[in-house]
A and B are shown apart, each in its own frame.
Chain A
Amino acid sequence: MIKKILNNNTLRMITALTVVGIFSGAVLVLVHNYTVPKIEANKTKETETAIKEIFPSAAKIAETVYPGVFKITGHGGTPGGYAFIAAGNGYQGEIKMIVGVDAEMTTMLGMQVLESQETPGLGAEIVGSAFRDQFKGLSLAQPITYIKNQKPEKPGQIEAITGATISSKAVVNTLNKRIEQIRKKVKDK
């Protein structure tokens, strides 16, 4: 019987492929079980570190009912606010940021870039503090706007990075869209 199976070519192929498939499946289950909790922990830690950069005095960071939106409580009554993830298309790929706003959503407290694939030396400057610091204390009474090659003159305006207008614009548009969404969500509650 076994000899017959071994001599039958089709059956041999099927058996060999099945055995290899089962083995690799089993290996992957083990790998998955061992690594996934660690990967999740890495992601949470990354988000929390970014939030703490924006809210240095945060006492409690709690995810709200909306995934990716966090409510921040300050130490001993210091003002908290909201932090949320904002993602949109940049020049070369997705730009993923974490954004902090005050509890009334009238002022932006800061922004951190989690992921981006912008051009090194140009668009990648959105990660640099010179660009990011412009968002600290930015008024949200009106949509954020950008201006090229000169200092911002109106409230809610930032200066675009020279040579990287598309990346700067992408950040501004993503932020405006997401802030509007969050505003509606927070109001609904």
Chain B
Amino acid sequence: MLKDFLKGLWRENPVFVQVLGMCPTLAVTTKAVFGASMGMATTFVVVSSSIVISLIRRFIPEQVRIPMFTVIIATFVTAADYFLKANFYQISKALGPYVPLIVVNCLILGRAEAFASKNGVFRSFLDALGMGLGFTCALVVLGAIREVLGAGTVFGYRVMWDGFSNWIVMILPAGAFLTLGLLVGVFNMVDKKISVEKK
């Protein structure tokens, strides 16, 4: 049970290991707070759709499962989008089209197909929650690194010394690729060390 939850955080981390959902990962992580909001919206969608799909998995005809998953996912994405627009207007404006685009995040369809449609509600819930949180953590780390170097702040708080000149490239798309590449490398290095120690 606990494994279902934990694997999304590390061993099968959606961003660093499965390399899924790269579009929002690269596009919205100019600031830590955007990464956190995108992560939470995605977590909401993956958890709710996994629960619903797991609940009705016996009634889903094999041939039309993908369209059904998509309809269910799209419903939750639209709900999340409207909720953000109504209650967190500025964040929703900054995230722009990337909230509606959660529909096509393969992480979510991937969980529906690989886990929720084959397992019970509680296990699906844990699996989705782990994946969502793993995704959120990755986006926050990415966003924080880019924000520190590109704007000198973290979550809007100034952390760099006065006179620090911002590395604008970190906020531009190139910075997303640089940071992600380095993070995946560091992740693999740490992961290898852990598995060597285990042996």
User: Are B82 and A35 in contact, with the CB atoms below 8 A?
Assistant: yes
* A65 close to B (CB within 8 Å): no
- Among the listed stretches B10-18, B69-77, B107-115, B187-195, which one makes contact with chain A, having 4 or more residues with CB under 8 Å of it? B69-77
Closest to A32 in B: B82
Residues of chain B with a CB closer than 8 A to A39's CB: 82, 85-86, 89
Q: Point out the residue from B64, B87, B96, B171 that lies within 8 Å of A38, measured CB to CB.
A: B87
* B163 close to A (CB within 8 Å): no
Closest to B170 in A: A120
Q: Point out the residue from B61, B83, B86, B168 that lies within 8 Å of A16, measured CB to CB.
A: B61
Majority SS of interface residues in chain B? helix
User: Are B64 and A13 in contact, with the CB atoms below 8 A?
Assistant: yes
* A53 close to B (CB within 8 Å): no
Contact with A along B141-185 (1 / 0, CB 8 A): 000000000100000000000000010100110000000000000
User: Are A17 and B86 in contact, with the CB atoms below 8 A?
Assistant: no
Given A35-B86, A39-B86, decide whether A28 and B150 contact each other with a Cβ distance below 8 A.
Answer: no
Least Cβ distance of B31 to chain A in Å?
10
Residues of chain B with a CB closer than 8 A to A16's CB: 59-61, 64, 68
In the bound complex, how far is the Cα of B87 from the Cα of A36, in angstroms? Answer: 11
In the bound complex, how far is the Cα of B69 from the Cα of A16, in angstroms? Answer: 11
User: Are A38 and B172 in contact, with the CB atoms below 8 A?
Assistant: no
In the bound complex, how far is the Cα of B81 from the Cα of A32, in angstroms? Answer: 11
Residues of chain B with a CB closer than 8 A to A115's CB: 93
**Total count of chain A residues near the partner, CB < 8 A:** 25
* B117 close to A (CB within 8 Å): no
Residues of chain A with a CB closer than 8 A to B171's CB: 120-121
Residues of chain B with a CB closer than 8 A to A122's CB: 168
In the bound complex, how far is the Cα of B166 from the Cα of A122, in angstroms? Answer: 12
User: Are B79 and A31 in contact, with the CB atoms below 8 A?
Assistant: yes
Interface residues of A in 18-46 (CB under 8 A from B): 20-21, 24, 27-28, 31-32, 34-36, 38-39, 42, 46
User: Are B83 and A13 in contact, with the CB atoms below 8 A?
Assistant: no
User: Are B78 and A31 in contact, with the CB atoms below 8 A?
Assistant: yes
Closest to A24 in B: B75
In the bound complex, how far is the Cα of B166 from the Cα of A62, in angstroms? Answer: 42
In the bound complex, how far is the Cα of B82 from the Cα of A27, in angstroms? Answer: 12
In the bound complex, how far is the Cα of B85 from the Cα of A46, in angstroms? Answer: 13
Residues of chain A with a CB closer than 8 A to B168's CB: 120-122
* B30 close to A (CB within 8 Å): yes
In the bound complex, how far is the Cα of B168 from the Cα of A39, in angstroms? Answer: 33
Closest to A31 in B: B79
* A60 close to B (CB within 8 Å): no
User: Are B89 and A46 in contact, with the CB atoms below 8 A?
Assistant: yes
User: Are B64 and A17 in contact, with the CB atoms below 8 A?
Assistant: yes
User: Are B172 and A24 in contact, with the CB atoms below 8 A?
Assistant: no
User: Are B71 and A42 in contact, with the CB atoms below 8 A?
Assistant: no
Enumerate 6 A-B pairs (CB-CB under 8 Å) in ascending A order.
A13-B64, A35-B82, A39-B86, A42-B85, A120-B30, A122-B168
A-B complex: 5 closest residue pairs judged by Cβ atoms: A38-B86, A24-B75, A121-B168, A35-B86, A35-B82
